[in-house]
Structure 1
Amino acid sequence: MFPTVSAVVLNDRGEILLGQRSDNGQWSLPAGLMDPGEQPAEAIVREVLEETAVQIKVERLAGVALHEVTYPNGDHCQMLNTWFRCRAVGGEARVNDSESIAVGWFAMDGLPELSPFAHRRIRTALEDGAPAWFAQPGETP
């Protein structure tokens, strides 16, 4: 089990920041593993900057859930993901490390194919005034 963070980053046009992963070619929200001793909000600020060169401000906690991931090499992991609604405050979106092959801003009506878990995180982050989402016993994200 790994502690992870992810972000629904919005710009001033209401677009969402996504990256196309280099390991499987799928589009996803900026995300990553927390470093030892790092707070979740600190981790997502670092991860978004490392992956996309975009500086963000964390606006609120949007949710937390355990989800399973199987990597192309067959490794199977459980990720405890904490996700945040964030606002872009600087930088220019671009590929900034080897984890992505493309980075870009997408309008809600023009999103590429995303996992159901990514859609869950986007929906919960965009609900203004809503409390943080969490899976009920027996529910999957």
Structure 2
Amino acid sequence: MSLIRSTAACVIQQGERFLMVEEQRGGPQSVFNQPAGHIETGEGPITAILREVLEETAWQVSLTGYLGLYVFHTGDGQTFHSHGFVAEPLHQLGRAIDPEIFATHWLTVEQIRSLDQQSRLRSPLVLKRIEDALGGPCYPLAVIRE
């Protein structure tokens, strides 16, 4: 029996660019992801994503919508339930980011698609969440009751 992992990720858009984090995940090249992470004991998805965005990017954001629950099965048999959010950046705080994050980048959709073609996105959900944020349904945050 495998454990289901509960995570949250956030699409943050400013103009034509999206805030991405670059991190090392054991391969020869770094990978790119939205600010994202595991929901910790005692947290709900909203609390978790606000914490993760701050830790990984030093940005304070305002959540504007819920993209939904994405179910992802990895090749090694793991299952992730990933809550997708959309947010607007408010301001960057002068604090250190998580040491596992090499850098943050504001990238266009074209740049992110190019990274996808190079297999440099953390998972297929990265581009899917951006495409959904641009044209898919977005739900009110009130659908989540923490």
**TM-score, length-scaled by structure 2:** 0.75
**Aligned counterpart for 2:24 among listed residues 22, 25, 36:** 22
After superposing on structure 2, the runs of 4+ consecutive aligned residues of structure 1 that deviate more than 4 Å are 92-95
Aligned-partner Cα distance in 2 for 1:19–1:120? 16
1:91-106 equivalences in 2 (<5 Å): 91=92, 96-106=97-107
Given that residues 65 and 138 in structure 2 are in contact (C-alpha distance below 8 angstroms), is that contact kept between their aligned partners in structure 1? no
Aligned-partner Cα distance in 2 for 1:15–1:93? 21
* 1:35-85 alpha-carbon deviations (Å, 9 max, x no partner): 112121111111010011011111000121221346xxxx75211100101
Number of aligned residues: 126
Note the residue ranges of structure 2 that are not aligned, 5 or more in a row.
140-146
Aligned-partner Cα distance in 2 for 1:97–1:103? 11
Given that residues 60 and 85 in structure 1 are in contact (C-alpha distance below 8 angstroms), is that contact kept between their aligned partners in structure 2? yes
**TM-score, length-scaled by structure 1:** 0.78
Q: What amino acid maps onto 2:109 in structure 1?
A: M
**Aligned counterpart for 2:61 among listed residues 56, 79, 82:** 56
Deviation at 1:131, TM superposition (A): 4.3
Note the residue ranges of structure 1 that are not aligned, 5 or more in a row.
133-141
Of all paired residues, the percent bearing the same amino acid is 28
Given that residues 93 and 103 in structure 1 are in contact (C-alpha distance below 8 angstroms), is that contact kept between their aligned partners in structure 2? no
